[in-house]
Amino acid sequence: MPVRVITIAKDGPKLKEASDDPASRATIGRVLMSRTGSQRIVAKGKTIEDLADALSTPTLGPVLDKTGLAKKYDFTLECAASSGTLSSLRQQGLPAPAEDAAPEFPELPRAMQEQLGLKIDATKAPIEIFTVESVSKTPTEN
């Protein structure tokens, strides 16, 4: 199926390794800033696999980590929101940049390369799919 894959960019990763402080809590959060048309992902003590999970959306599709980086990192990624997200904001009457406005932030692939030293590319890969064969409104006995 079509997927996105995160790999290490040519110049190598630009990631700050997380501290080993047992008191610090691992978090990852995604914030959509509608006025600027950008999104920010802030992570503390998270892996690149966690980033891939955070980036996996119905619009982008599944995102897989193929970096081989297993450590935990602190990072911030800021990029332009997808056109579908901005269109949805406009339809809901929420503040969003005009359709013809130039984005203030780089698109996701460029942002990942410049800010994190990682690449995200479209490709095809086998993924697990669950199929629901039937649904019953009334429970049946086992």
**Better pLDDT: 52 or 82:** 52
Residue 68 confidence (pLDDT) = 95
The neighbour count for residue 41, using CB atoms within 10 Å, is: 20
For the chain, what are the domain ranges?
2-15+26-124
pLDDT in tens, 66-117: 999 999 999 999 998 877 776 777 777 776 667 666 677 889 999 999 999 9
Residue 73 confidence (pLDDT) = 95
β-sheet with 27-33: strand ranges across: 16-17, 73-80, 38-46, 27-33
What mean pLDDT do residues 16-34 have?
83
The neighbour count for residue 22, using CB atoms within 10 Å, is: 6
Residue 102 confidence (pLDDT) = 67
Q: Among candidates 31, 82, 27, which has minimal Cα distance to 58?
A: 82
Band (58; pLDDT cuts 50, 70, 90): confident
B/e letters for 72-109, b = 16+ CB within 10 Å, e = fewer, are bbbbebbbbbbeebbeebeeeeeebbeeeeeeebbebe
What mean pLDDT do residues 119-138 have?
88
Among the residues of the chain, which ranges form H helices? 48-55, 83-91, 108-111
